Structure 1
Amino acid sequence: MRDDRFHSRLEQLLSDADVRVDGDRAWDMQVCDDRLPARVLLGGSLALGEAYMDGWWDAGSLDGLLFRLLDAGIDRKVHGFADLRIAVLARLFNLQRGQRSYAVGERHYDIGNDLYAAMLGRRLVYSCGYWRDSGDLDAAQEAKLDLCCRKLGLRPGMRLLDIGCGWGEMLKFAAERYGASGVGITISREQAAFASLLCDGLPVEIRVQDYRELGERFDRIVSIGMFEHVGVKNYETYFDVARRCLADDGLFLLHSIGGNTSRTHTDPWIAKYIFPNSMLPSAAQLTRALEGRFVIEDWHNFGADYDRTLQVWRDNVEAAWPLLSERYDERFRRMWRYYLAGSMASFRARLIQLWQLVLSPSGVLGGYVAPR
């Protein structure tokens, strides 16, 4: 049964973001269940995402609608119990230690290599492409891998550590194009198995291993899209591990999504359905953890490129759905669509960024020249 009080309140909130209920524009919200306003207003962002998954509402341009909500700050006006719960848990517990550190591998990265192969393009690189001089996704990902190698100054014979190596593309690229050897660690068994096959015959070792267990030394370290799972309570430990593993004259490239404000947890819908126990670092949180451990040689933001990357990922998944639907149901499809659209919206509104930091133990003698 429709409750006009909730309906009017939802209409007012949406109008502040130039979104209409049952309007005729692509980004307007089409309400499919009269219970939606109460569910969303009482449940916050978790309820909004779950209601979309359940088919209670839709939009022709989902990313367009979510962008307008975020750009207008509507997310800051509606909070549910789940927001409070996750904030309390993050304050009381270290959500990224012990077995919890493996949860994101089991629940996200181990979903199925078929989904990621369909989504990510020729190279299975699950992070932002570098579109500066690239016309398609595959070129943008190769440009990003090459940018990382150039920033690290990789040369033949160097030993590279990849913390959070994914499906092994960075190490394969570094070995084939730059003559480096390396070790990649991941907490995903599916990724490790794939990466081992991908790098077969190359001087590359892939391990299922927590970064805290690392001890040997490397000439260079890279970490692409893994730091978002470390958690603020572990930042100092993470950088201590990187420092003890890096040669005194080495370089460390950290590639991470970052937030404009300091937080201790992620959105409750993202935590429940996509990245459990994750959080985005702020610049302040990063610099505090780096103090006394590394010199920041370069800080490069190309977060606007992520919106374009995500759009291609979405198009790839939609095009591949006739085959993917044999393994994944319609609710999963709507969940994944909402995840990608919400990510596009967040980058488009410039609420989150994509940072590459180049770090050195004591400063590069004579200064560091940053490639672009």
Structure 2
Amino acid sequence: MKVREMHDVYTGALNSPYCVELISTEEGVDALESDWNRLSACAESPNVFMTYSWFRTWLRRLICDDGRGQLLPNLLLIRQKEAVVGIAPLVRRIVTRPGFRRQKLEFATHHSDYNELVVGKDVRALTHAVMDYLASSARDWDLVDLKEMRDDGNRIADMEAAAASAKLPYRLFWEEDKCLYMPINAPWSTTRKEKHLRFARRACVGLEERAGEGFRVRVTGQPQLEKGLLDRIIAVESQKRIDGLPLPPIIGKYREVFQSLFDVLGPQGALIIVLVEKNEELVAWRFLYRCGTKLWDYMTAYDYAYSALSPGTVLICAAIDYGFSHGCDEFDFLRGMDTYKLRWTHEFRRNRRMILWNSRWLSKLFAASYVRHRVPVSQEDHSHL
């Protein structure tokens, strides 16, 4: 095993074909666009939250918010010979308090519903390469906190095996929020006949009866082509309520992030917007990502003045119809057990969270604090201490 100064390149464990390189500058991240897009395009389970566009756009904004001295790229680039074969999209968050300074490695943003440790084909081998690197560079970090990890296939088991092999202590938790989902196996005209969806049928009929007033539902798979659409979406979002109380805006707060996602994901067909309009007035919208054959329901809002029409329900009906006609087989509500989601389905997935630490006493202290305040929500919690 050879590690260069500052741990910028790690040649891997004995007989490993991989070399791991630390990318810690924004310029270094920019140079990876082509390779990253190539790896994402080959993913067995596409994930918009693991793409270059998502990472780079959020990184740029969060560095501005937190300051360049507090948040830095900590991306791990995995090479086999000279070819880039994997990427671990992490950041380094530096927290300074009187008397201590903590360096934590984590995923870039909590706005991602599904995270994965590596982007690449041979996930098991790449995961071992990343864990070996983390072990070799343990004096450069205090804690690794990996939140909202989806377990498609054997990703979590691979991470546990790799951490144990690298002799990194860790603890694994269930995340509290569940991700509800339902199959798309028929057009809405057929799906609406299911007994438990009577509420949705009523909502659609109610809106159809008011078509003469200018109400319509439509779907756009190229939102970047509609001038002013993002501003219209933000205007409706500002009226969003939960139990009658206004909610802080997300798209309005991060307008440049979502404009960038419009511009990049829109032409790829990965961003779908479902709209309810009354003539030229935007009444409601749903913001969906298409990941392979899955529709991910990321965000929604409606004008509170039209709440009696159940526009959010109507939007889901239109999304199901769009998904079926475009070859999608699943509608994923993503994180959260909101009451309206439970009217549609009770099927759910649960993400995992992994906390890793090292042998230094300060790292153990930080880990103990994190673990102590995160009681496992299931007896199925696994630990390796």
TM-score (normalizing by structure 1): 0.30
The structure number with the bigger radius of gyration is 2
Flag the structure with higher helix content: 1
Name the TM-score, length of structure 2 as normaliser: 0.29
Counting strand residues as a fraction of each chain, which structure ranks higher?
Answer: 2
